[in-house]
Structures are given as structure tokens and as C-alpha cells.
Structure 1
Amino acid sequence: MKHVFDLGLDIGSVSINTVVIDEAGKVVFEDYRRTQGQPLKLVLQILESLPDQFPLAAFRLAALTGIGGKLLAELLGGVFVNEVIAQAQGTFLFHPEARTIIDMGGEDAKLILIDQDAQGNLNIQDFAMNSMCAAGTGSFLDQQAHRLGYGIEEFSQLALKSTTPPRIAGRCSVFAKTDMIHLQQGATPDYEIIAGLCLAMARNLKSNIAKGKIIQKPLAFQGGVAHNLGVRQAFRKIYDLAEGELIIPPHFCSLGAIGAVTVAWENPPAEFHLDLQALKDYLLNRPQEAQRLPALQPPMELGADHYAIAAISPEEEIEGYLGVDVGSISTNVVVIDSQFQVLAREYLMTAGRPLEAVTKGLKLIGEKLGRQLRIVGAATTGSGRYLTGDFIGADLVRNEITCQATASAAVDASVDTIFEIGGQDSKFISLEHGAIIDFMMNKVCAAG
């Protein structure tokens, strides 16, 4: 008996979800892959590597949805389906009782309100999507898991250990990250921070995308972020959902692709042949070189003198001043003498664990200078200055503006303008005769 199949593709900003559905309406193949910025090339690889039981000639239709679906529908001769309709139809197929759908993918989030008409058919009442900002989507979770040194599965599990999650800003992903860094520098456990982030994502959706809308239960949660147990728990808490009122549908990552196929069933093509040649030709002939601006000129070369460390004889006993700058991304530990000569320095990644970074920096400097060195004064600055100041028993704790200005004026008294760009902030400082007369820092967003 000759089998026929239907192909569904959801071309997202981060991943591609592929499904093959048999003539009985059963999902017989499901595939998830990250695009790595090459969605068209990846689709070709996926289709060329389909298992032998799914020959291209056996497909009677191809339905596509997602941000890259329209172009591929033209190249493959398939049907393009709007992603809101596709997601709603995919959920309705498995859970017609759902009344609210939250779909969170790599770079977008959707809220869809649905019900049934008198004939029992799907009716989309209203929907909303996030703007261009990816705050509250899967990409940000991936980024934070990587920054904290956890796999995404472990990151998901850790949130369930939380008992007192802190409040983290959810309207901007960069501002949320800044809040997380400050919490880490205050020794807040990672699992509490992760739970706070999950709650921030849920609150962000409720206050922005769902603003002014009546959320009916049950609520279906789908998309890649639905894998995250912490976010599931956050939605239960934010929307006060009882047992059974939060639905995680089957194939929750691929419901867009499944829904696209079910929409295509309503008006299937009379003739269809899945031919990859047009896609191959497009990939072969499309322009590869983008228009480019003129190359930047190389900056002034800095020689060895710019990074020189003062020479110290092994028998010499020296007095030094310790400075520690704990930033959001990196930690700098330096020892200078009374003549402003650098005796030792260390640059380390903060990695969300400022005390560990400072401890390592002090140990490395101790190994270099040993018992020759006697610290007669210590000061801290940066976003982690208070915690670190208590940790090392600092004599002074000063803000970054003061420290940047003081050091620049000490090195070169003629300096009148300072631009300082760090891992998550940038500063402009104006000096006059070594005194600060104006300054400005970036606010919430860390762009630049």
C-alpha cells in the first residue's frame, strides 16, 4: 500500500521545527534544529536527510509558517499560513478546551485568545505579540543559562528549588541581566535568581502583551520556552492557575508546523510535487556579499611601556595600595606604589561570582609578590564595590565615576574628557583642572 504524507515547517528566528503527518492525521516524524543564521540552507539539509520511509514523492502538500515561511513556500510550491493562525490551530487540534494560548519562542512571544463557534470550529477572538525587543523570550534564557555556566535543562530544574525569588525587571532583557548581576554580587543563590527571572518573564507578558485583555482558563503554554519548568511554575503563580488549568500540549514545540498542515487540509492543492530544485537554485544564485562601509583605520599602537609593571628586586620590601574594580563582566585587581607605578595586576571574568574572582585575583598577586608586599591601603569600586569592600576590609569604597576621573587626572592632568565603555555600561565624564564638572551614564539599556 502506498502511503502519503503532509509536511509542516515552522521557520522561526532561532530554530526550524519540522513535522511529517500521515494520512490518518498522526505525527510520525518531528525534528527541531537551530538555524545558526542559515534557515534556507538548513531546510534543504532537513528535507534531503528525511528518513527513507518519507520519500519526497510521497508528500501531497507542504505547509509553512513562521518568519521565514513565506519565501520558502514560494520556493517549495507550498502553502503559507500566518503563524498566529497556525499556532492556534495546532493547539485546538489537541486541546479544543483551551481558551488562552501563550507561545514563547526564540525571539518572539504571542498571546492568542480563542473559543469555539456554534459548529465547534476554532474562533480566534484576539491576539497580541511582542515588539522588536526579545525581552521575555527563549534567547534571553539561553544567554543567561550560558552566562551562569548551566545547561538549559539544569537551568530549568534549578528554579524549582527557590523559596524566596527576588524581583527582577522584565521589561528589558539587558536591565534584567543587570539586576541579576547585582543580585549575584550580593551573594543571592543562583536558583533564587533563576526563579526571579522566570517570574519576571511571566509578569512582562502579563503587563505588556496581555495588557487590557481578559485571560480565560484553561491556558495552553507552548513553544520552546515551555520546556522550562521554572517558567511553567511562574505562569501558574502569576495567573493563579489551579491543577489542570495550565496545559502543556503534546508536540508543544512544533504546534505551529502542525497547525499549518491542518489549515492546509481545508483547501489542499490539486497537484503537488515536493521539488527542491528551486531552493537549490536560490541558494546557489543569491548574492553572498553585503554592502560594506570603508574599513576603520587602526588605532594608535600601544607599546610595552603602556603596560609596564615596575621591576622589583627579590630582596626588596615594598608597600602597596590595593585597588579592586568589580564590574558586571570583569574584575580588575591592581597593586600600585606611592609613585603610581603598577606593581601587579590581574584581569578576571566576574562570571556572576565576584567574591570568587576577587579571591583568585588576590591569590595570583600574592604568588607574584609574596612576602615582599605589605598592603597599606585598599579601595573598591564597580557595581560589586560594597560586597567586595566588606569582603577584603577596604579602607575606601567609591563609585566608578569618581575613580575613573581621579585615575585619569593622576595619569595626565590635562585630561578634560573621559569616555569609558565597560561590559554593561558606558560613561562620559567632563573634567576641569582635575575636578568633575559633568558626567553621564547609560540608563536601562546596555546598547553601546
Structure 2
Amino acid sequence: MEKKLDKFIAYDIGAISVNRAVVDKGGHITDVLEYTRHYGEPVKIILKDLKELIKRHNPVTFSAFAFTGSGGKNLANLLDFVFINEIEAITTAVKSIYPEVKTVIEIGGQDSKFIDIAAGDYAMNELCAAGTGSFLDQQASRFNLTIEEFCRLALRSAKPSTIAGRCSVFAKSDMIHLQQEAAKDENIALGLCYAMARSFKSGIVKGKKFEPPIIFCGGVSYNEAITKAFEDILKEKIIIPDYRHSIGAIGAALNLALKKFKKEANLIEVSEKLEQFLKNFKYKKETFKPLIIEKSIIPESSYQKNKLDIKGRNNKVDAYIGVDVGSISTNVVAIDRNKKLIQKVYLRTAGRPIEAVRKGIAIIGKEAGRYLNVKAIGTTGSGRYLIGDLVGADLVINEITAQATAAVDIDPAVDTIFEIGGQDSKYISLENGVVVDFEM
């Protein structure tokens, strides 16, 4: 008869990561997989880990095997192993390792959970992933940062910006407007962390009490800025556990040990079944082509060479500069007294409106600056006030008025304008060249 280890193994398959724990019959944690992102291929991660376990353990037959997590049920059914609910798994782990804890905050890649251990109650987020790890990943990418760099950036702030946290679309809008106002990146980053903590308290917990001691686990608990936000908002010290990413896996394995499950699992046989599953699944790592605009050219930047007749020119031309600072693009133009275009520049704002405007004006200056006598400068767009102060604008004007003025100058008979930009959409109605109605 094959010998077996009196140990219990469990995998927690989440939306973003795979976590694994091994415990002995006494409930002691003997082996934990480090935090591992699966990038949509959890079975491959499990197979790789099983092969490492097989090298380290002899014999390779465990007392029992379990799965938990949002992606665990299908594999549990496939392999005929037990599936343990995430809430039960987390509660078991916390009760066993931190018996004094009364409240659990668990935030992973796609789910957020509140567990009131004392009352036996819990709450989870709905389908929307705003306020989870994937939400933070998405916002960090807007800064062109990894999540680790984003965390370090947020910790540099002492004054978090105010940002909506219940919806990633609203959060993005708030971030863009803050960037247009030259808010510091670290304040925006910390503001997102505070928004996430406030959203958890109001949208998930919904008035329930956070009974201390409070523990914070899940992959997001590695973000110290989120912990800082929770401690500030709840006015309580938060416990960060060892193996914070693996609490679910530990709890599932402990369930097996405490309930003395006796369904042996040979790791070699499990590996073979998973390899066969991958072969039969005929998985092709293919995705649909990203949505792209094929019939329009939207450059990262472009500019039109100046249209001045500079041959033999000694005198300067009176010029007027217009700057439109939007969420996605920044446009700088120069026209003469007769409203004739001298030069135009298109640049991506990229969250850095000041740098974009400086670059745009520098391009015009290099191309035609020595021939221009700049009489006035005007700004419009969502960043008009910031840039107006920066350049000492003679006129700061709203987009509705600016667009209507230009449209009427091009065609006095125009009565309707539709404008769709990176963050705003507008409908403008005119009568006899005057704006009579608009919607945004």
C-alpha cells in the first residue's frame, strides 16, 4: 500500500492570482505558494506548482485536496475534489490563526468581502469590479506605473485628492480633471486609495459595524497606501496577517484537516489529469483583435508647417495664439489678424497638460516665432484655467463659446454642432450665430 503524507493541500483560484497552502493534521501551515498572477491561465500555474511539490515531498499522496475561490469550483468538479466556499475558507483561517479578530476585510483582484465573524454575517461586492485589485491595476496603468510603483507613489502624499471610487469611469473622469488642474500625482494616487476604502465602507458594508480587532487580507492588502486609507477612515489599527494573499487557501486546507476529510490525492495523478485536461480543452491563446479606428488617423502628435510667406520677409506678423487643452489631446494654433491659419499643432495631453502646452508653443516658436508678433493668447478646454494662469492668457473661454465662434466664422449659416472629444460630448444649437441651447 502506498504511503501517504498526513497533510492537506488547497488551491485558491482567484480572478488574478493562484494561491496554495499545505497544512498538517495538527493545522500547522507547512508550505505556502508565493503570490502568483495567472494571467488567465490558472491550470498552467497549478501544474507548475504541483511539479515543484512532487520534487519536495515523498510520498506524494496527500490526505485530501480542496479548491476555493471564484475559479475553483470547475476544477474541483473536474478532479472530483471538495470545493470550499471562500467565506467559509477565510473565516476558518482567521479563527484558527487570529482567534481575537472579529472583522475581516478581504480584497482581491475582482471581489471585495466584509466578514463579521462575531455576528456570522458577511457582504460582498456585486458584478462591478470597481474598488478591487483590478480597479487599482487599471488606474495605475493610467500613470504608466506598475501597481508596486503606484503604491510607493501614493505613500509620498500627505494630502489625498477627492476622487469617486464606486465607478472606474467616474474615477477616471476625476483623475483627468485633477491632472488638468495640476494636482500632484501622489495626491491623486492616494486619493484613489481613499476612494476605494470609502467605497468599501459605504457600498459593501453599508452601515454595518467594523468591530475591532480588524484584519485585512487578499492581494490588495500588500498595498500599504490602502491600509493607510482604511486605518484613517475607520480610526482603527488594521492587522496585516502573514501569508496575507493565501488566507483563503490556508482556510480551505484547514477545513480539510479539521473535518478530517479522507479522500487521498496523489499529486502525480492530479498533474496527469490536468495535463490531459489542457490537451482536450484545445485551448488556443488567441484573442479578438483590439478595437481600433481603421478609417481615421489619430496620431500621437502632428503639426502643420507654418503657412507664412517668409521669403524676403523683414517685418513681423501680428499673431493670436489659441490653446485647447483637453483630456486626451492638446491643440495649439496661431492665426493672423485676418483669421488666416499660420500654424497648428496637435499633441497628446497624456495627463501632463503643462508639458503638452509647452511643447506645442515651442514647436510654433521654432517654426515661425521670429516672424510673429504675438498680440494675445486665449485658452479653452478642460485645462483652460490652469494653462491660462501658466501662459498669462488674455482670454479664458469655455469650450461651448469657443466652438460656436469658430463654427460661425467658418459657416455663418451653421445651426447645429456635435463635438465628441476624449472625455466630453457636446451638442450645441445656434440661431443667427448665437448659442441658444447646448447639452454635455
TM-score normalised by the chain length of structure 1: 0.82
Instruction: Provide the residue aligned with 1:333 in structure 2.
Output: 332
SS at 2:210 equivalent: coil
Instruction: Provide the residue aligned with 1:93 in structure 2.
Output: 96
Instruction: Provide the residue aligned with 1:16 in structure 2.
Output: 18
Instruction: Provide the residue aligned with 2:204 in structure 1.
Output: 209
Counterparts of 1:162-173 in structure 2, within 5 Å, are 162-173=157-168
- Aligned partners of 2:414 and 2:430 also within 8 Å: yes
Q: Equivalents in 2 of 1:38, 1:415: separation in Å? A: 55
Instruction: Provide the residue aligned with 2:389 in structure 1.
Output: 390
SS at 2:151 equivalent: helix
Task: Write the deviation string for residues 121-174 of structure 1: whole angstroms up to 9, x where unpaired.
Answer: xxx611111122222222222233332344433432444444333332222232
Q: Does 1:229 align with 2:228?
A: no
Instruction: Provide the residue aligned with 1:270 in structure 2.
Output: 263
Counterparts of 1:2-401 in structure 2, within 5 Å, are 3=5, 5-22=7-24, 25-48=28-51, 50=53, 52-54=55-57, 57-115=60-118, 125-241=120-236, 245-265=237-257, 266-274=259-267, 275-286=270-281, 299=295, 309=305, 311-315=307-311, 316=313, 317-337=316-336, 338-341=338-341, 343-351=343-351, 353-401=352-400
Calculate percent identity across the aligned residue pairs.
Answer: 47
- Aligned partners of 1:104 and 1:138 also within 8 Å: yes
Larger mean CA deviation between 284-293 and 146-155 belongs to: 284-293
The CA deviation at 1:421 is 3.4
Q: Equivalents in 2 of 1:64, 1:418: separation in Å? A: 57
Q: Equivalents in 1 of 2:322, 2:376: separation in Å? A: 9
Task: Write the deviation string for residues 210-269 of structure 1: whole angstroms up to 9, x where unpaired.
Answer: 11312211011111121122221221121111xxx4211111111111111112331524
**Counterpart residue type for residue 86 of structure 2:** E
- Aligned partners of 2:21 and 2:253 also within 8 Å: no
Query: What RMSD, in angstroms, separates the aligned Cα atoms of the two structures?
Result: 3.4
5+ long unaligned stretches in structure 2: none
Q: Equivalents in 1 of 2:281, 2:419: separation in Å? A: 41
Q: Equivalents in 1 of 2:155, 2:111: separation in Å? A: 24
Q: 1:390 to 1:83 in 2, by over 3 A?
A: same
- Aligned partners of 1:335 and 1:345 also within 8 Å: no
The CA deviation at 1:322 is 1.9
The CA deviation at 1:48 is 4.2
- Aligned partners of 2:201 and 2:207 also within 8 Å: no
SS at 1:31 equivalent: coil
Task: Write the deviation string for residues 334-366 of structure 1: whole angstroms up to 9, x where unpaired.
Answer: 334444435131313332x32222222222332
Q: 1:396 to 1:88 in 2, by over 3 A?
A: same
The CA deviation at 1:287 is 6.7
- Aligned partners of 1:310 and 1:343 also within 8 Å: yes
Task: Write the deviation string for residues 169-203 of structure 1: whole angstroms up to 9, x where unpaired.
Answer: 22223223322333333333333333332222222
How many residue pairs align between the two structures? 425
- Aligned partners of 1:20 and 1:30 also within 8 Å: no
Q: Equivalents in 2 of 1:41, 1:89: separation in Å? A: 28
**Counterpart residue type for residue 345 of structure 1:** V
**Counterpart residue type for residue 155 of structure 1:** F
SS at 1:170 equivalent: coil
- Aligned partners of 2:307 and 2:341 also within 8 Å: no
